[in-house]
A and B are shown apart, each in its own frame.
Chain A
Amino acid sequence: MSDVLILGEVKEGSLDLKTLELLGAGKKLAGELGGEFSLLLMGDSVSGMADEALPYGPAKVYKLEHHLLQGFKTDLWLACLEQACREINPKVLLMSHSFLGMELGPRLACRLNTRLTTDCIDLSIDPEDGLLLRTKPVSGGNAISVFKCPGEPQLATVRGKVFAAAESGDANGEIVDIKAKIDESMIKVESLEIVREEIVALDKADVVVSGGAGLGEEDGFELLEELREALSKSFANVMIGCSRVAVDKGWISSDHQVGLTGTMISPDIYVAVGISGAIQHLVGMVHAKKIIAINTDPGCNMFKVADYGVVEDYEEIIPALIEKLEELS
């Protein structure tokens, strides 16, 4: 048995960054429990990834392969995950707070009669009873709550970017095969077609870099684009937004517009560059978790809602900022 089990995810033929972070978290929790941590990989062909994972220090990498696991069919993946949990019997199971984790987590919790806490930003073990303390933002991020629940395994989905990724080192673990007991009759929801979409879905962005009339010219958005690229190295889903004036001037298309007559968004970080903060703009973004304003006018409204402000010409700040970000990453 393993004390902490991590459900791995694969992205473009390699271990997902989120899985590496989970391995980091798993290592920490295993330490607190005085036990070991392992990784579970599922899919139609995951052998390569199992080898890739060993250097990150799991005691075991469980490998559950089946040709039916090609593509993500929730019913089958769930059945496999349930089977693996029953066989491995971990004390703690961590999944990332991703599409996959949220598809499987709640239903798994039900099947194993345990409790899941989603979107955790911190985890630790209560030394008294060995249960998992799950820290999670609630009320749209307006409060932080710590939960403790009974049941085994202790189950959580973990937000990305809160745990440092595990570092690779010596590979001491072993690879264990689990034979999947699934067949097509388990599929209750049949997939008909997958449609890929490319759209500026501003409301799905984690970070939005927004420009307004203060950019002064269309080229200003090129500078913002550079900033976007620099930030993309540290954040997922960084997108460009704008005020309506920028759209009206024809600098950028209207699907980028934030505000009353644009998109209403609540990203983790909103960077307002040269935007004064008219209420029609504010209603679209005040719910952002952190707001950073860059504006030459210290009296402008945007500073009233911002967490951090820089009173300076954006043409001075942004190139310097891009440089510093490159240095940091």
Chain B
Amino acid sequence: MTPHRVMFWQIGNVWIFYVLAGLATGLFLAGVVAYVSVWKKSSRSLEIPFSKEALKRMILDTFLGRRVLQGDVAAGLMHLLIFWGFLSLFIGTSLLAIHHYIFTFLEGTAHLIFSFGLEVGGLMLLAGVIWALIRRYLQRVPRLERRLEDAVVPLWLLLAALSGFILEGLRLAVERSPWGGWSFVGWCLSGFFSPAGAEGLYPYLWWGHALLCLGFIAVIPYTKLFHILGAPAGIYLQGASKPIVLGMEEGAGEFDLGDAIFFDGCMRCGRCVEACPSVGAGEPFAPRDFVQALRQALWQEHFPLGDIRFMSPKEESKVDENFWYCTTCRACLEICPVYGAAFEVVTKKRVLAVEEGTMVPKLLNQTLEKLFKYNNPWESSKRKRGAWADGLELIDLTKRGAEADLCYFVGCTTSFDDTAQMIARSFSKVLQTAGVNFGILGKKEPCCGDIARRVGELGLFEEQRKGSEELFDKYGITEVATSSPHCFHTFKNEYPEAPFRARHYTQVLRELMAEGKLRFKKGVEATVTYHDPCYLGRHNRIFDEPREIIRAIPGINLIEMTHYQADSLCCGGGGGRMWQDLQGEVKMSEVRIREAEATGAEILITACPLCLIMLEDARKAAGLKEPFRVMDLNELVLQAL
């Protein structure tokens, strides 16, 4: 006899099984349909752009678990075990169905390999699920929540897998077929059962196992298990291109399909909670909770029966009103398995809040008014914008006949803040020393629009963008260097029709170094560490230039903090937070300054006016004294010239 498997061995009334299977599939499909209907209703557009890149990314991420592995290998392996275990059992069962109903092929060697594969799959699943339970309930990994469904789902899987193995053991105990050893787990278990007892027990357990498995399928859309479908869909959509800036009329405050799927694809892994500086500072905001609250809100609004995830708490926390806390630092996107950009959703919520008007915090309200009236968030006047340059004899590009190769765009905060003005003065002197022919816009310099954009005042941003573009156009400016990574980011990524090339000063300095125009004559004997500004590093991937410049200075010893490059911690000044009167238990900047201090470096270097102010402020508040200092990269460079 060739090795084979008897279908529905010992099972009567098979039709009941078919009914149940139909029911499970129906429930599953009904759930999926509900999702699709909610997505349809909550999204501005249903367009699914085709992108090969995104498709590739989706497939690789899904099957190799790259995003889950990244940054947390243990979690990644655990997930891979469950994923592949589950998948192989699922495929196995499907093959069996094909074998039974369509054409018979699982015979002989094929059957043996098949049996063996299923055993391995089952073991992987078991191991993964047990590991998951250990991580959540014994190891108590901090980022993991312990809600009802977090226990129900893995226990369900555990029972399904165990009952499967026992069932097999029972069957083999009766059959004792010569090829039974290939199903090695079941074979081992079969030793524990007497054939007669096994035969009696088998049907009951079989129905139990069937119910567990069918139920599991059915329950997928009604629990966080939906990420099985939602995550890949989310990954695909987050990778497909999106419009850069939408106007109000174009539905800037509305969710798109990618957002809605992201909310449903989020499996509450909490990686973002671990990374979010707002959470780290003890503020009442966390991206995961924000996303979950939005998810629930969408269901409550667009689905007659409310939240489909019946095990979710009835009221998700109100964090969706605390979106002003987000600094848009991008740390959450860096590690989210489904590439969820919580901060972009935050911006959408802000767009709506700004449009509505009553939920704008007082200080931000005043700042926006000031931005509109005076094109800067600090002074109720445009007059003193160029005052930092007094005595430096710089070319004012807005004066008749003035020309230069490079326009230095100073930015609001660098122009008006006493601490930050140093960046402007140092950079100007460095450029002068390097013999660069550059000019500034003096008191005509506008605001780039970063603040307006980040806090969701898109109408104002649009006006500022147009104004700036016209100004640059008018004075024939094609090359721009900015002090602030924020201006740089805004120009580079959010001015689709920019008539100029914008670079951050670190790029300019790096280039001058390569051209040999910037030579460090003096050494600086110091141990320093470098803080990556979010909008330079994470948002624009400029990690190396500043480090190369620092390392080129003779005598300098650059050491890294615990969090650096893409993993850097936010100073707390971005995303309009500088102009909001919000406080957590500690300040983000203080967390950061402590980390810098812990390296033993004497100088903390950064390359952004907001970081400089926030960190200098934190240094004072933390009472860190000389020789520990906070410095802008320009200042250091100037010292070494």
Contact = CB atoms under 8 A, between A and B. Distances in A.
A279 B620 contact: no
A211 B88 CA distance: 70
B363 A283 contact: no
Interface in B422-460: none
Contacts of B378: 279, 283
Q: Is the interface of A mostly helix, strand, loop or mixed?
A: loop
A85 B587 CA distance: 61
A204 interface: no
Contacts of B416: 279
A279 B579 CA distance: 12
A196 B579 CA distance: 33
A243 to B, nearest CB: 9
Contacts of A280: 417, 613
A279 B617 CA distance: 12
Interface in A133-173: none
A277 B418 contact: yes
B418 A278 contact: yes
Contact of A244 (B379, B419, B617): B617
A213 B378 CA distance: 22
B325 to A, nearest CB: 14
B363 A261 contact: yes
Interface string B593-637: 000000000000000000001000100110100000000000000
B581 A279 contact: no
A248 interface: yes
A324 interface: no
B613 to A, nearest CB: 8
A249 B623 contact: yes
B622 to A, nearest CB: 8
Given A278-B417, A279-B417, A283-B378, A245 B363 contact: no
Interface in B312-370: 363
Interface of B: 363, 378-379, 416-419, 579, 581, 587, 613, 617, 620-621, 623
A301 interface: yes
A260 interface: yes
Contacts of A244: 617, 621
A242 B587 CA distance: 19
Contact of B418 (A213, A245, A301): A301
Instruction: Pick the most buried of A248, A261, A278, A279: most chain B CB atoms within 10 A of its CB.
Output: A279
B620 A245 contact: yes
Given A278-B617, A279-B378, 10 more contacts: A244-B621, A248-B620, A249-B621, A260-B363, A261-B581, A277-B418, A279-B379, A279-B416, A280-B613, A301-B418
A23 B623 CA distance: 54
A249 B621 CA distance: 6
A280 B419 CA distance: 11
Contacts of B623: 249
Interface string A278-310: 111001000000000000000001000000000
B496 to A, nearest CB: 32
Contacts of A277: 418
B484 to A, nearest CB: 15
Given A260-B363, A279-B378, A245 B417 contact: no
A276 B417 CA distance: 12
Contacts of B417: 278-280
Given A260-B363, A278-B418, A278-B419, A213 B620 contact: yes
17 contacts: A213-B620, A244-B617, A248-B620, A248-B621, A249-B621, A249-B623, A260-B363, A260-B579, A261-B581, A276-B418, A277-B418, A278-B419, A278-B613, A278-B617, A279-B379, A283-B379, A301-B418
A106 to B, nearest CB: 30
A201 to B, nearest CB: 16
Nearest to A283: B378
Instruction: Pick the most buried of B379, B418, B621: most chain A CB atoms within 10 A of its CB.
Output: B418
Contacts of B620: 213, 245, 248
A283 B376 CA distance: 13
A229 B337 CA distance: 61
Contacts of A276: 418
Contact of A245 (B379, B419, B579, B617): B617
Contacts of A279: 378-379, 416-418
B581 A245 contact: no
Interface in A246-273: 248-249, 260-261
Contacts of B363: 260-261
Nearest to A276: B418
Contacts of A301: 418
Nearest to A279: B417
Contacts of A260: 363, 579, 581
Nearest to A248: B621
A244 B578 CA distance: 14
B150 to A, nearest CB: 39
Contacts of B617: 244-245, 278
Contacts of B379: 279, 283
Contacts of A278: 417-419, 613, 617
A248 B593 CA distance: 14
Nearest to A300: B418
A276 B617 CA distance: 12
A261 B587 CA distance: 13
A276 B418 CA distance: 10
B419 to A, nearest CB: 7
Q: Top 7 closest A-B pairs, CB basis?
A: A248-B621, A301-B418, A261-B581, A279-B417, A245-B620, A279-B378, A213-B620
A261 B621 CA distance: 15
B258 to A, nearest CB: 35
A84 to B, nearest CB: 44
Nearest to A281: B418
A16 B581 CA distance: 40
Nearest to B619: A245
A248 B619 CA distance: 11
B365 to A, nearest CB: 13
Nearest to B417: A279
A181 B491 CA distance: 74
B428 to A, nearest CB: 19
Contacts of A213: 620
A260 B587 CA distance: 16
A114 B417 CA distance: 50
B571 to A, nearest CB: 14
Interface string A4-46: 0000000000000000000000000000000000000000000
Contacts of A248: 587, 620-621
Contacts of A261: 363, 581
A300 B363 CA distance: 26
Contacts of A245: 617, 620-621
A66 to B, nearest CB: 45
A285 to B, nearest CB: 14
Nearest to A245: B620
A79 B379 CA distance: 47
A245 B620 CA distance: 7
A301 B421 CA distance: 12
A260 B583 CA distance: 13
Nearest to B616: A278
A278 B621 CA distance: 14
Nearest to B418: A301
A245 B587 CA distance: 12
B592 to A, nearest CB: 15
A308 B217 CA distance: 79
Nearest to A243: B620
Contacts of A249: 621, 623
A276 B613 CA distance: 14
B372 to A, nearest CB: 17
Contacts of B587: 248
Nearest to A264: B366
A251 to B, nearest CB: 11
Contacts of B581: 260-261
Nearest to A287: B380
A280 B616 CA distance: 13
Nearest to A247: B621
